[in-house]
Structure 1
Amino acid sequence: MATESLSLAPPVAERPGPIGWTRRNLFATPFDVALTILIALFLLWIVPPLVRWGVVDASFTAPNRDLCPADGACWGIVRDRFHQYLFGLYPVDQYWRIFAGGLLLILGCVPLAVRRFPHKVLYGVAFMVIYPYVASWLFEGGGPIQPVIDTPLWGGLFLTLIISIVGIVASFPIGIALALGRRSTMPVIRALCVAFIELVRGVPLVTVLFMASVMLPLFLPPGWSIDKLMRALVGVSLFSGAYMAEVIRGGLQALPKGQYEAASALGLTYWQSMRLVILPQALRLVIPGIVNSFISLFKDTSLVFIMGLYDLLGISRLIVTSKEWLGHDIESYIFAAFGFWIFCFAMSRYSQRLERRLHTGHRH
């Protein structure tokens, strides 16, 4: 029986460039065409008025509300109170302390970014123990040289970064300990960890902060007091640690059982297998979930206003209550939202870069 060899047809050529991309992504089907037209009409309806209000008719140099335009935004509030958005009510002549603390933090983190830095783990632990004491002495002061600056005067982006950085650094080991405890074979340890995680995850953060602000002092001995900021740091760290525990537990459960058996076959102890085999793989698998928890924690710092602390959002509220800028809430809140977005977007992009570098998608 004769067979006829058929030549393969050439692949369908796709038009390159922006026209081809537009055809594939915006006008591929009738539904895509209709949806694209509706979105374009919506943008034409909402974007021009926003541009006219925020740019064309806006004022960027008005020193107070009396000189602001009637129909446009008044971004002079950002220029006039920019230092308060950054540092709250911190004394202006003491800003050098914040800059010094930030510089020390950056310089201290540089060795951690070097891949082959010797004894990196030991250095990281020492840095996390020593730096908080140095930063606390710089920011709060004390002694004959440094005037004391009470924590209620701290605010703005400075306070947001303090709460978020401390919460992120503290919640990570707390989450690891709780995740390991929840999977422990010891009933008491497992029950305590499960009870803590479910209790904390069952209430909103605002409730935890309210309890730390109002109820905690009632249980302290007479004459004892804990700073508001310290209460907020403890509450945020414990709350975030409970959520972090569930993220890490998901990574531990995602590992094949063979990894645990291989570590046991090598004669490793429980802590050696967790440190050298299990945790590195589990943490790599849940990088997106960990970063998502960090981003959520960064945004949740705005809830500390119930404790009388003025973070970036809180100081934005406080600024618009002054007589110079009364009534310009929208501009103030937009600037605060832009600040939150910058840091959250940066964390998201860094996590994607970290995923690509660690090959979390198992690509070869």
Structure 2
Amino acid sequence: MSNTHADTVLYVRETMLPQQTPPSTSVGAVGWARENLFSGWFNTVLTLASLVFIYFLLAGLLPWLTAPTWGAASLTECREILAAEGIGGHGGACWGVISERWKQLLFGFYPAEEYWRPILALILLFVAISPVLFADFVSSKLLWFTGLFPFIAVWLLWGGSLWYPAMALAGFVIGAAALSFGGKVGGAIIGAISGVLVAIVWWLFIASDLASLLSSVVALELPAVQSREFGGFLLAILLGVTAILGSLPLGIILALGRRSDLILVKSLCVGFIEFIRGVPLITLLFVASTLLNIFLPPGTNFDIILRVMIMMTLFAAAYMAEVIRGGLAALPTGQYEAADALGLDYWKAQRLIIMPQALKISIPGIVSTFIGVFKDTTLVSIISLFDPLGLTNAIRADGAWTGIYWELFIFVGVVFFIFCFSMSRYSMYLERKLQTGHH
């Protein structure tokens, strides 16, 4: 027995071995490459073939992209520079068109001495949306500026008297006061009707005259800029941001209306959503630019950009409603039952329990709709508004740049990519923050 016990003890280790670093071939970049790129003969062949393809692709593209033509003043001068470099007339990009016309691509025909106004408006836009997008890092006390921003932006971009956007803001304040007072006196429906009526009366019959009177007393004015001078990415961002910010609340209302038990409300919402989704955006833009004037009183000056803003917002809202309706449908019935068990009324249940969860589920679809709306702003070139793509045609019409294509499209594509990629990354950040995934 003792011999057997002694033999057994010989194979029992009494001390721990010190930890050793893993082999260098299994960690780091080398380990990742072995596991993902060279894990077998087939993957190795694919990796090598891909590297060869990428090499030939870059060998052809890089010399074209790095052509030293930024100082050229025409396509002819570009070709002379390329010939002098021994590249060949068509062997490099003509970046002179970008260095000469980048301001026009960004600002359209906006007066050059007033460029500070759209730049300031863009900076203020980021300040205004920061307490909404980054509530963990920015104080909610800035939300008052978020409400003021649309009126400040209108004044900065279009100019004129400050009193006109101030009176428009006053209409919302007075309408909210009437809604609150009417709600206390006659209930929610009476409050809503009284608030809307008071605001409409203020805007139609009082605001303009009062603004004119105040302008004659204290002139707070900027030089006026006409809508036809807007263009480029200034126009694209203006239309895109307006449609994005307007479509989300409108889409929520339409989604709730489509799921309503009230037949009239449900029918109106379904009819609106299906009509808008069944008609191309180009058709709606034509309606906004031409047919809408037929139904307005003679002499009515309804700004073309405002008309396009309204149409794009309605178009985006219809798609947004379906995205949010999908989020509402994905919620388990128990959430609705829990809201009922807590004794919450319809609006409190939606605000506190149902809608936050539905919006979390719908984040990818909502952001996809936002990105699609922003890219759809290029369609306004059909109705003679100079968006970035419309401006490329105007630039090519100049004899100095006739024949330029790729350089302009690459510049426009890169700027669009920056905006759309930023929205996509923010949606991923939001999903991680709200933990929308299933664990």
Residue 202 of structure 1: CA displacement?
Answer: 1.4
Deviation per CA, 1:279-334: give whole Å up to 9, x if none: 00110111111111111111111011112211222223322222222211210110
Between the aligned residues of both structures, percent identity stands at 45
Which residue of structure 1 lines up, in the alignment, with residue 352 of structure 2? 276
Which residue of structure 1 lines up, in the alignment, with residue 160 of structure 2? 142
Q: Does 2:27 match 1:16?
A: yes
The whole-number CA distance in structure 2 between the counterparts of 1:358 and 1:197 is: 29
Deviation per CA, 1:244-279: give whole Å up to 9, x if none: 111101110111100000001100000000000000
Which residue of structure 2 lines up, in the alignment, with residue 105 of structure 1? 125
The whole-number CA distance in structure 2 between the counterparts of 1:346 and 1:108 is: 17
Which residue type is aligned with residue 133 of structure 1?
A: F
Which residue of structure 2 lines up, in the alignment, with residue 169 of structure 1? 245
Which residue type is aligned with residue 421 of structure 2?
A: F
Deviation per CA, 1:128-179: give whole Å up to 9, x if none: 5532222112211224742221111111111111111101000001110111
Which deviates further from its counterpart, 65-74 or 253-262?
65-74
TM superposition score normalised by structure 1: 0.89
The whole-number CA distance in structure 2 between the counterparts of 1:116 and 1:92 is: 36
Which residue type is aligned with residue 73 of structure 1?
A: A
Equivalent pairs counted in the alignment come to: 348
Which residue of structure 1 lines up, in the alignment, with residue 9 of structure 2? none
Q: 1:44 aligns with which of 55, 75, 83?
A: 55
Residue 104 of structure 1: CA displacement?
Answer: 3.0
Deviation per CA, 1:192-222: give whole Å up to 9, x if none: 1111111111122112111211221121122
> Structure 2: any 5+ residue segments left out of the alignment?
1-21, 80-88, 162-218
Trace 1:153-232 onto structure 2 (pairs within 5 A).
153-232=229-308
Query: Is the radius of gyration larger for structure 1 or structure 2?
Result: 2
Give the secondary-structure state (helix, strand or coil) at the position aligned to 2:244.
helix
Which residue of structure 1 lines up, in the alignment, with residue 72 of structure 2? 62
Give the secondary-structure state (helix, strand or coil) at the position aligned to 2:312.
helix
Give the secondary-structure state (helix, strand or coil) at the position aligned to 1:46.
helix
Are the counterparts in 2 of residues 85 and 157 from structure 1 also a CA contact under 8 Å? Answer: yes
> Structure 1: any 5+ residue segments left out of the alignment?
1-11
Are the counterparts in 2 of residues 152 and 308 from structure 1 also a CA contact under 8 Å? Answer: no
Which residue of structure 1 lines up, in the alignment, with residue 368 of structure 2? 292
The whole-number CA distance in structure 1 between the counterparts of 2:148 and 2:154 is: 10
TM superposition score normalised by structure 2: 0.74
Are the counterparts in 1 of residues 231 and 385 from structure 2 also a CA contact under 8 Å? Answer: yes
The whole-number CA distance in structure 1 between the counterparts of 2:128 and 2:422 is: 20
The whole-number CA distance in structure 1 between the counterparts of 2:37 and 2:390 is: 41
Which deviates further from its counterpart, 191-200 or 338-347?
191-200
The whole-number CA distance in structure 2 between the counterparts of 1:173 and 1:33 is: 52
Using a 3 Å threshold, how does the CA distance of structure 1 residues 345 and 119 change in structure 2: closer, same or farther? closer
Which residue of structure 1 lines up, in the alignment, with residue 193 of structure 2? none
Residue 85 of structure 1: CA displacement?
Answer: 1.6
Q: 1:352 aligns with which of 418, 423, 428?
A: 428
Q: 1:323 aligns with which of 399, 406, 414?
A: 399
